[in-house]
Structure 1
Amino acid sequence: MTATQPAPRRSRTVMFAAIGVGVVMALLVILLITSKNADDAPSASPVVGKVAPALNGKAIQGDAVDIGTNDRWLLVNFFATWCTPCVQEHPQLRKLSEEMQKTGQLKVVSVVYGDKAAAVRRFFAKNGGTWTVLDSDNGRTALDWGVAKVPESFLVSPTGTVVVRFQGGVVATDVESIINKAEGQAEGGS
């Protein structure tokens, strides 16, 4: 009987070790699932608070845009038709363009990011939107603006200063709120 007594001890030790390893693995899986990806974390923008870089590139739709001569707010949106969050954000851009263009308060401009002009034309024909769309000029404009990944948008004040950067899509009410707050502060300060 003495020969069989050590076996239960080993099996309990193995069982407790397996349970311990299982608990640690479960905690690691939970940690990985709930933690944010480094790519999802907001990053500092080199252009916020500075004069907006030029918008180069040929117009696929609409007219070329010169930021220096703009007398209203400008939302510069970097997008691609193959980008799911870009497609999801498009109705918000349409809403902004339609509502705020009536008042002359905001103009939307999109810059294509790694996409073909034909795909962009089909996308706008299917999903609507009449604002200016510029080609990517081989990515130079995105580089000048410090674009990390699409969708990414920048709100430019009428003075040409980049006020805020939106990563992962814009919400029309957020843009409207920022503009109204900034204009309210400007009126209160004068």
Structure 2
Amino acid sequence: MALGVAGVMALLFGVLIVATTRSDDPKESASSPLVGAEAPPLVADTLDGDTVDLRDYRGSWVLVNFFATWCVPCQVEHPELVRFSEQHAGPGDAHVISVAFQDEPADLKAFFAENGGDWPVAVGDTSSIALDYGVVKLPESYVVAPSGVIVAKVAGGVKADDIDRLIAAASGASAQVGNDG
């Protein structure tokens, strides 16, 4: 009987993993009661030993990205986050803050060492942050305006160009944010 229970538990775990990490087409912003509202607080320890506070980014666009290293769609989207971050590396430009979900610091360090990315990564017990943002599955991202208001939610992996378009649409600009040339 114990083998039967273990088998059922393994099956349920597998279904949970598939359900929480399935990839959606992120071309359109997903609905969320947070869109149009002030972003929930995001204060956490970071992978590099500092503290990240979303309020410190007021005046800049921020992409808050919930992910895990064990999430395959998160792994697929990571190069797009790196690209977006590199395209917006100027002072006062757009920023990325990642919130690691149920991940170990050693795994996160290895992931970023192998795949790049030098933005703040919130670690530790981030479940309350995910709950405040209403995260349903991974990956999930929120575009936060310089005012601190969430202007878009993207369910599934992001594309750098799609985030640029969301920012441009929200700001009423036709040009890419921060790349004035």
TM class, shorter-length: 0.7 to 0.9
- With over 3 angstroms needed to count, the CA separation of the structure-2 counterparts of 1:88 and 1:109, relative to structure 1, is same
1:93 to 81, 85, 110: 81
Q: Aligned pair count?
A: 149
- With over 3 angstroms needed to count, the CA separation of the structure-2 counterparts of 1:61 and 1:46, relative to structure 1, is farther
Residue matched to 1:162: 150
Deviations 1:133-173 (A, max 9, x none): 00142511000100001100000000000010011111100
Residue matched to 2:96: 108
More helix by share: 1
2:127 partner letter: G
State whether residues 62 and 130 of structure 1, in contact with CA within 8 Å, keep that contact through their aligned partners in structure 2: no
Residue matched to 1:50: 37
- With over 3 angstroms needed to count, the CA separation of the structure-2 counterparts of 1:44 and 1:184, relative to structure 1, is closer
Whole-angstrom CA distance in 1 between matches of 2:30 and 2:54? 24
Residue matched to 1:84: 72
**Structure with larger Rg:** 1
Matches within 5 A, 1:22-171: 44-61=31-48, 63-70=50-57, 71-102=59-90, 104-171=92-159
Residue matched to 1:28: none
Give SS of 1:164's match: strand
Per-residue deviation at 1:62? 7.2
Identity of aligned residues (%): 44
- With over 3 angstroms needed to count, the CA separation of the structure-2 counterparts of 1:120 and 1:181, relative to structure 1, is same
C-alpha RMSD over aligned residues: 2.4
Per-residue deviation at 1:181? 2.6
Mark the runs of 5 or more structure 1 residues left unpaired by the alignment.
1-36
Per-residue deviation at 1:64? 2.8
- TM-score (ref. length: structure 1): 0.71
Deviations 1:39-75 (A, max 9, x none): 8699642321110011132111374332233210000
Larger mean CA deviation between 98-107 and 46-55 belongs to 98-107
Give SS of 2:43's match: coil
Residue matched to 1:172: 160
State whether residues 97 and 119 of structure 2, in contact with CA within 8 Å, keep that contact through their aligned partners in structure 1: yes
Mark the runs of 5 or more structure 2 residues left unpaired by the alignment.
1-18, 175-181
Residue matched to 1:22: none
Whole-angstrom CA distance in 1 between matches of 2:157 and 2:114? 20
